[in-house]
Structure 1
Amino acid sequence: MTSVSPAPTTMLVPDFPFAYDRWLSHPAGLGMLPEGRAGTPVAVVGGGMAGVTAAYELMRLGLRPVVYEAERLGGRMRSEPFPGAPGYVADMGAMRFPLSARALFHYIDMLGLATRPFPNPLSPATPGTLIDLNGQREWARASEDLPEVFQEVSEAWDKTLHERAELATLRGAIRERDVKTLKAVWNRLVEIFDDQSFYGFLATSPAFSSFRHRELFGQVGFGTGGWDTDFPNSVLEILRVVATEADDHQMSLVGGAEQLPRGLWEHRPGILAHWPAGTSLASLHGGTPRPAVTAIRRDGEGFTVEDADGEVRTYPAVVYTPHVWTLLNRVSCSPDLLPVKLWTAVERTHYMGASKLFVLTDRPFWRDVEPGSGREAMGMTLTDRLARGVYLFDDGPDRPGVMCLSYTWNDDSLKVATLSAQERLKVLLARLGEIYPDVNIASHIVGDPVTITWETEPHFMGAFKSNLPGQYRYQRRLFTHFMQDDLDPSHRGLFLCGDDVSWTAGFAEGAVSTALNAVWGVVRHLGGASAPHNPGPGDLFHALAPVELPDS
C-alpha cells in the first residue's frame, strides 16, 4: 500500500478561508472586463507588496494602473544595502516568509527568486541558540537540549493550544481545506476569545498557572522566539498565526525581500489582456511611479487624486494600500471618502512598533569554534536585555557576514527610538559584551550600521497592525470593505487593502490576499466579473464570510 503524504498547511485564514493560491493559478485567470473598459486608468496608492500586487494583476486584466509611491518601491519589504558594500543587504522590514504563504510564493516562484531557510531560534538552519534570561545563559542546538523547565513551557503551550483552541482540528481542516469544519470551530473561538488578551489567555489556562512558565514563554516562545510583546494583543491574532503555521518553516529571499515587489514591477507577463507583449508596470510608468498622494476627493462617480507635484488626475476607482492611519494625517480627504463606521475602524487601528540594527562583518566570526566547549563563539541570541533578538547570516567562511544585532518590538523599540545609529550600536555592543565577554564583536564590524524604527517612519508610523482585545468588529469592517454592493453609491469605488487590512497583519501573505480582494472589487466596480469557472473572493464571500459579532 502506498502511503499518502498529508496535505500541506496553507495560510487559509479561518476568518475568510478563500483559496487565493488556487484562484491565482487557475488557467481561466482572475476575471474579464466589459467591452470598452480596457485601458481604463485606476489609481493605486502605495508601491509596497500590496500596491505592486494589485497593480500587476490589474495590468494583466487590461486596466492601466497608475502607482503612487511616497518614498521607494517595496514598502516594508525594504532591503537596505550596506554603505560601500552594495552586494550585501539588510532586510529592514519583512525578512522571513512561511512556506504556508502559498499566494505569496505564487509570485516568488513565478519570478524564480532563490530562497533559503531563515535562521530562527532552535531551527535546523541555526547552528546554535543562546538564551540569556535573568542573568543565566543556556546554549542549545535544538529544543531538546534546553533544561527541563523549557520543555515544561513547550508542553504547556502545546497543551493549551489543543485543549482551549482546538488546534489539531483547525490545522486538519486547513490542510484538507475543509471549510465547513474550519468555520464552525473558528467562529466559535471568535465569540469566546474576542475580548481576551494573549496574556489573559495564558494566565487563565491551567497549564500556565505558574508565573515562571508564563515569563519564560514570553521571553523565549517557540518558533520565531519570544512573544511577550504580543501579550497585550487579542489572542485571536496569535491563534491565526499558529493555526496557519505562519510562525514555522520560514524562508528568506536570497539577496533581500525587496527583490519581490521590484521583480513584479519589472516583470513582463506572458499572458496580457489589451496591452502589447513585453508590457510591464515599469514600462507603463516610464520607469518610476508617480510621487506621493496628497489628496483624494470624490468627484461625481469617480475620484480626483492630487500628488506631491501638484498634478491632479481623475479615476473611476482607487486602490489604497498604505497604513490606514495615513488617511488621518498624510492625505487630505473629505469625510465622505469612507462610511462613518469604517472611519471608526481606521481611528481604532493599533500598530506594533519595531526597530532593527544591522552591521556588516569581515567574516562570520561567530562560527569560530571555542576551544574546550566545542561550540560556536556566538549563536542566534534571545535575551531579556536591550538587544532582545540577534540573528546571524552568512554565505560561507570566506565572505562577509551580516548580523542583525537587535530586533525589538513596542516598548523595547521605543528604548532606542531617540538614539542615533552610532549611539544604538554603542549601547548594543555593551549589552552583548555582557553576554559574550570573550567575543570582540566591534573588531569585526565593517563600515557603519544600518537601522530603522518603523514607528518614527513618517509614512508608516508602525511596523504593522495588531488588534487589541475587542477589536474584531473593527477588523471585520476593514477586511470586508472590498464588498461594496451594500454601500451607498457615494461610498463605492475606493478599496482599502494591505497587510493591516488583512487578518494576518505583519505577514506579506495578508498584503497579497487583500490586494487580490481589491482587484476583484475594482473589476466588479467597473462592470466586469470573475471567470465563470474561477470564482473570486467576492463571488464566494457569503459562503465564507467572517462571523459577524453583535454590537449589543
Structure 2
Amino acid sequence: MSLTIADTSVHAVRPLHAVTMFGPDFPFAYDDWLLHPAGLGTLPTSRHGTEVAVVGAGIAGVVAAYELMRLGLRPVVYEAGEIGGRMRSITFDGHPGSVAEMGAMRFPRSATTLFHYIDTVGLRTEPFPNPLAPHTPSTVVDLKGVSHWARVPSDLPASYQQVGDAWDKALREGAEVVAMNDAIRRRDVATIKSIWNRLVREFDDQSFYGFLASASAFSSFHDREIFGQVGFGTGGWDTDFPNSMLEILRVVYTGADSDQQRIIGGCQQLPLRLWDHEPDRIDGWAPGTSLASLHSGGPRPAVRRLRRTGQGITVEDADNNIRTYPAVVFTPQLWTLLSKIDTDESLLSKPHWTAVERTHYMGSSKLFVIVDRPFWLDLDPATGRHVMSMTLTDRMPRGVYLFDDGPDRPAVMCLSYTWNDDSLKFAALSADERLKVVLSSLREIYPGVDIRSHVIGSPITITWETEPDFLGAFKANLPGQYRYQRRLFTHFVQDDFARAERGLFLAGDDVSWTGGFAEGAVTTALNAVWGVLAQLGGASPADNPGPGDVFDRIAPVRLPES
C-alpha cells in the first residue's frame, strides 16, 4: 500500500521508491522532464540555427550544448583545456585499458539525471570499491598506529560501531532524516519543503563539526575524532568539518554518498560520447547532427573576455576571435570570472558578484600508479586475509582505492586521495616525491608488502587547487553562505533582472546545491537551457513544465538579509 499526500500542483506524490537526488532545496524532477515525450520545449522556427555560446566543455557545458542543439539552436562551445573538465580520465603509457580518474570517479545511483545521459550513450558501470561496501573485498582502517581489518562494519571494534550508531542517532534526532528520506522517495514536495525550509533557518550558521559537537550522541571528542577519520559512506569526513551542515545534509538526504558506481573505461567517456552522439529527436537540424559535426576541429579555445555590446554578449577567445551572441551559458568554476576572464561587471549584479567572490573551494590531490596485477588479492598464509585492502588512515595517504580488471591483467591503485590541508601537504612535491612519501606511510601499515616491486609505470598525480583553469576541486559552502548559494542557483530565472544583466546563464556544480556531484552540474545545465529557451522566445510544453515554469512554487527558501 502506498502513502499519498495532496498533489502540490507541481507533480503528484509518488508511491515509495528509491531515494534520488530530488531536492531538497529545489525539488524539481529533472529526470522526468528529460523523459517526457513532449520534450523540453520548442522555439520559434525563426530562431532555429541561432548561435548560443557555451563556455566550458565539462559535463555541464556538454549537456547544455547537447540540449540546446536538440532544441534547434547552434551551440558554440569554448574550452580552455579538453572536453571533460573534472571528468578527466588519464590512461597509463603503454596500457590504454588502464585508467586513472583524476577528478570525478564515483557516481551515486541516486543521480538519476546523470544516469539518463550515461544510459543515452551506452556506458556501463560497476560498483565503486568504497570502504566496507558490499563489493569491496576488504577494508583496513588504520588510526593512531593501530590497524583493523574488516569485510563488513560489524568486523570493526565496538567503538567504531558505536560511532556509526551515534551518527545515525544524531541525524534522526537533529535532522529528521527518516521523514526527509521518506518524502524524497515519494517526491512529496510539500513535506520536503516544510522540513527543509525550517532546517535551512536552523543550520545556516552551523558547521558540520558544530552539529556533531552539539549532538548528545557525540559528546565525546574521541568519537568525533574517529568519525572524522572513518566517516560514513566514502570514508573520513574531517576535512568537511568546517563546511556548512546544510552541505552534509543534502548528501545524506539524497543518497549521494551511498551505492556509488564507477564508469567502466573512465568517466571522461561520458562527455566525449555525448559530444559525438547523434540524438534521435532533434529540431531544426538534419538527422545525424551532433556537437562534433557542428564543431569541425573541436571546441573553440579559451574565453578571455566577456562584454555586453548592443543586444548581445560579445565573447573574445584566446585566438582573438570576437563573436556576439544573444545568450551565453557559463559553466567553469566561478573564480575564473575574477582571475582568468576579463568580464564586464554589468553582466552580473553586485549581489551576484559578491556570491562569486565568496565562493569557497575544496582542495584535493590524488596519486595513481599502475601495477602488474592485483597483487593485493593474494592471501597472507599467516592470516588467510588479503595482503592489502582498501585503506582509510590518518597517515599521509588518507585513502587508498584498488581497481582491477581480472587476476592476470594490469591493475590501478589510487595510492592517495586527500583533501584541503592534507592535499596541500602534497602540492609542492613532484610525482616521484609523492610516491616516495606515500609508500613510506603504507609500509608502516603493510610491512610485508613491497608495493613498489609491482609498479610498472610512472605515477600520475594531480592537485586541483593548483590547476590554473580550476583553482580547486569543487565548491563547498561555509556556514552562513546559503544566501550566496541561493543567488547563484536562482540566476537562471532572469525576469526581474536589469537588461544589462540578462543573457549570461551560470551553470555547473559551483552553481548547484551539491558541489562535487556531477548530478548538480547536469541539473544546473538544464536550468540554463530553460533560461536560454525562455530568453529566445521559446517555451516548455504545458504538460511538461520546465524548472523556471514552476520556480515560484518550489523556489529555495529566501532568508532575510537585513
Residue 111 of structure 1 deviates from its aligned partner by 1.1
Matched, 1:503 2:516: no
Select which of 350, 353, 362 maps to 1:352.
362
Matched, 1:224 2:234: yes
Matched, 1:15 2:19: no
Residue 364 of structure 1 deviates from its aligned partner by 0.1
| Corresponding position of 1:548 | 558
Bigger shift: residues 80-89 or 63-72? 80-89
Select which of 498, 501, 524 maps to 1:491.
501
Matched, 1:155 2:155: no
- What is the identity percentage for the equivalent residue pairs of Structure 1 and Structure 2? 68
Residue 87 of structure 1 deviates from its aligned partner by 1.8
| Corresponding position of 1:387 | 397
2:92 touches 2:98 (CA, 8 Å); kept in 1? yes
Residue 103 of structure 1 deviates from its aligned partner by 0.2
Select which of 407, 410, 428 maps to 1:397.
407
| Corresponding position of 1:318 | 328
| Corresponding position of 2:8 | none
1:294-313 equivalences in 2 (<5 Å): 294-313=304-323
Select which of 104, 121, 133 maps to 2:114.
104
Residue 5 of structure 1 deviates from its aligned partner by 8.8
Give the residue type in structure 2 aligned to 1:96.
Answer: R
1:201-220 equivalences in 2 (<5 Å): 201-220=211-230
1:82-481 equivalences in 2 (<5 Å): 82-481=92-491
The C-alpha deviation readout for 1:258-293, integer Å capped at 9, x for no partner, is: 000001000000111001000000000014000000
Select which of 519, 528, 533 maps to 1:518.
528
Give the residue type in structure 2 aligned to 1:225.
Answer: G
Q: Output the CA distance in 2 between the equivalents of 1:94 and 1:434.
A: 29
Give the residue type in structure 2 aligned to 1:322.
Answer: P
The C-alpha deviation readout for 1:98-140, integer Å capped at 9, x for no partner, is: 0000000000111110100000000011100000000111000
- SS of corresponding position for 1:448: coil
The C-alpha deviation readout for 1:234-254, integer Å capped at 9, x for no partner, is: 000000000000000000000
- SS of corresponding position for 1:30: coil
Give the residue type in structure 1 aligned to 2:367.
Answer: L
Give the residue type in structure 2 aligned to 1:409.
Answer: W
Residue 222 of structure 1 deviates from its aligned partner by 1.5
2:401 touches 2:413 (CA, 8 Å); kept in 1? yes
Residue 206 of structure 1 deviates from its aligned partner by 0.3
Residue 211 of structure 1 deviates from its aligned partner by 0.4
Give the residue type in structure 1 aligned to 2:155.
Answer: D
The C-alpha deviation readout for 1:488-513, integer Å capped at 9, x for no partner, is: 11110000000010000100000000
Residue 83 of structure 1 deviates from its aligned partner by 1.7
Q: Output the CA distance in 1 between the equivalents of 2:80 and 2:257.
A: 31
Gaps in structure 1 of 5+ consecutive residues: none
Residue 422 of structure 1 deviates from its aligned partner by 0.6
Select which of 534, 540, 545 maps to 2:544.
534
Q: Output the CA distance in 2 between the equivalents of 1:34 and 1:503.
A: 32
- SS of corresponding position for 2:166: helix
Q: Output the CA distance in 1 between the equivalents of 2:201 and 2:496.
A: 25
Give the residue type in structure 2 aligned to 1:292.
Answer: A
2:15 touches 2:186 (CA, 8 Å); kept in 1? no
Q: Output the CA distance in 1 between the equivalents of 2:552 and 2:239.
A: 35
Give the residue type in structure 2 aligned to 1:323.
Answer: Q
- SS of corresponding position for 2:217: helix
Q: Output the CA distance in 2 between the equivalents of 1:22 and 1:341.
A: 33
Q: Output the CA distance in 1 between the equivalents of 2:460 and 2:323.
A: 37
The C-alpha deviation readout for 1:60-118, integer Å capped at 9, x for no partner, is: 00000000000000000000111221221111000000000000000011111010000
TM-score by length of 1: 0.99
Give the residue type in structure 2 aligned to 1:42.
Answer: V
Residue 532 of structure 1 deviates from its aligned partner by 1.7
Over the aligned positions, Cα root-mean-square deviation in angstroms equals 1.2
Matched, 1:34 2:53: no
Bigger shift: residues 59-68 or 527-536? 527-536
Q: Output the CA distance in 2 between the equivalents of 1:270 and 1:286.
A: 21
Q: Output the CA distance in 1 between the equivalents of 2:383 and 2:499.
A: 71
Give the residue type in structure 1 aligned to 2:290.
Answer: S
2:2 touches 2:15 (CA, 8 Å); kept in 1? no
The C-alpha deviation readout for 1:191-240, integer Å capped at 9, x for no partner, is: 00000000000000000000000000000012110000000000000000
- SS of corresponding position for 2:457: strand
The C-alpha deviation readout for 1:400-435, integer Å capped at 9, x for no partner, is: 110000000000000000000011001111111111
Q: Output the CA distance in 1 between the equivalents of 2:267 and 2:119.
A: 13
| Corresponding position of 1:80 | 90
- SS of corresponding position for 1:462: coil
